[in-house]
């Protein structure tokens, strides 16, 4: 048996994560019978604070996308993709979370369409609560409310993780969770 020859060049160093990431349990959707494709905002959220969360919802959450850094130049992953002309786009400004403790998101939940619906228990609505008691929503319908999930102490809401059917035939958001980030010292705070 011949010894392995050494690699021609050393592997590139791994870049340490700039932040600690928490991903919540998933809400809505089905746990069986559907192969899901996952979209996650973990990469941009680990480096840049979230600035906005945009979304569109009618009977279900059709689409959502976050923007990051102080100029909103970096977009998170697209979540969903269905377009219904009658559903207005909502933009939530989350840029002050790191500056104003009262605007920090402390709880997150969703509403689901129900298992007996055309929408396969898909996510209908995103609901977030700030430390100051203000409720932020994308979507209005709520057939099956879900329990609140607390953002862990010391973490900041950073975006979404979603799942839609991998066949892309039903490209609305079926399952929904949130990402929270504990930023390392020196993260750029937008003013």
pLDDT at position 139, please? 92
Task: Assess contact for 184 and 19: CB atoms under 8 A.
Answer: yes
pLDDT at position 70, please? 75
SS3 call for 96: coil
pLDDT at position 165, please? 81
The pLDDT of residue 7 is above 60: no
Residue that wins the pLDDT comparison between 132 and 74: 132
The pLDDT of residue 54 is above 80: yes
- Reported pTM: 0.83
Residue that wins the pLDDT comparison between 151 and 190: 151
Chain segment 9-52, per-residue pLDDT in tens:
333 333 334 579 999 999 999 877 778 889 999 999 988 899 99
SS3 call for 103: helix
**Confidence class for position 168, pLDDT limits 50, 70, 90:** low
Domains (range + CATH), the chain: 28-183 (2.100.10.30)
DSSP 8-state symbol, 27 = B
Chain segment 83-136, per-residue pLDDT in tens:
666 688 999 999 999 889 999 999 999 999 988 777 888 999 999 999 999 999
Who contacts 129 (Cβ-Cβ below 8 Å, separation ≥6)?
A: 105, 106, 107, 108, 135, 136, 148
């Amino acid at each position: 048996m011949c010894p392995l020859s050494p690699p021609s060049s050393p592997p590139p160093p791994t870049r340490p994560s700039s932040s600690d990431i928490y991903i919540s349990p998933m809400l809505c959707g089905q746990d069986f019978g559907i192969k899901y494709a996952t979209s996650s905002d973990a990469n941009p959220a680990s480096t840049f604070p979230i600035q906005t969360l945009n979304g569109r919802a009618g009977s279900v959450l059709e689409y959502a996308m976050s923007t990051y850094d102080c100029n909103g130049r970096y977009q998170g992953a697209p979540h969903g993709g269905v377009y219904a002309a009658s559903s207005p786009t909502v933009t939530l400004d989350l840029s002050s979370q790191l500056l104003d403790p009262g605007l920090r998101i402390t709880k997150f939940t969703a509403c689901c369409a129900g298992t007996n619906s055309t929408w396969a228990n898909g996510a209908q609505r995103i609901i977030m609560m700030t430390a100051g008691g203000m409720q932020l929503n994308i979507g209005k319908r709520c057939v099956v409310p879900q329990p609140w999930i607390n953002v862990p102490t010391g973490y900041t809401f950073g975006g979404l993780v979603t799942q839609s059917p991998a066949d892309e035939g039903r490209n609305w958001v079926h399952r929904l969770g949130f990402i929270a980030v504990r930023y390392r010292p020196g993260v750029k705070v937008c003013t």
